[in-house]
């Protein structure tokens, strides 16, 4: 992992949504739940938990939400043109966002230290040693 210089820019695939991450994320997590597998079309989805005021967005996004297993609302903001997810949020936790960091211009900062919903993990994926592991949502 390189020493990142902030702010780091990010954008959706088509470039209609742009943003700046002003400071390091609180942490990176890999979620192995079936919903995140659908989202990422892969074995897991990566999230950077950030303070809401540490990221500045440009462009008009659309929203979508669902009720999570916890009973909480899981909201998502995405580009209406290319469909790229930009971040997720829980309306009951307005001080944090779950940024989708693969949209960053410098992805070398991504290093998940937490793996959640490993009860739904793909059998072929091996979780690295030294990370926190949770069978479900912590």
The answer to whether the predicted template modeling score (pTM) of the entire model surpasses 0.85 is yes
The DSSP letter of residue 127 is P
- Just give the CATH number of 25-133: 3.90.1590.10
From residue 128, alpha-carbon distances to 1, 70, 74, 113, 132 in Å are 15, 27, 27, 9, 10
pLDDT in tens, 35-71: 889 988 899 999 999 999 999 999 999 999 888 777 7
User: What are the residue ranges spanned by the domains of the chain?
Assistant: 25-133
């Amino acid at each position: 992992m390189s020493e990142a210089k902030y702010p780091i820019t990010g954008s959706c695939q088509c470039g209609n949504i742009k943003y700046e991450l002003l400071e390091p994320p609180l942490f990176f997590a890999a979620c192995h739940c079936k919903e995140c597998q659908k989202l990422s079309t892969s074995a897991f989805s990566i999230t950077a938990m950030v303070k809401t005021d540490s990221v500045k967005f440009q462009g008009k996004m659309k929203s979508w939400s669902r009720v999570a297993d916890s009973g909480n609302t899981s909201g998502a903001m995405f580009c209406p043109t290319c469909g790229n997810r930009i971040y997720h949020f829980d309306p009951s936790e307005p001080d944090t966002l779950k940024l989708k960091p693969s949209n960053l211009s410098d992805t070398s900062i991504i290093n998940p230290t937490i793996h959640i919903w490993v009860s739904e993990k793909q059998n072929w994926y091996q979780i690295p040693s030294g990370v926190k592991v949770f069978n479900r949502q912590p």
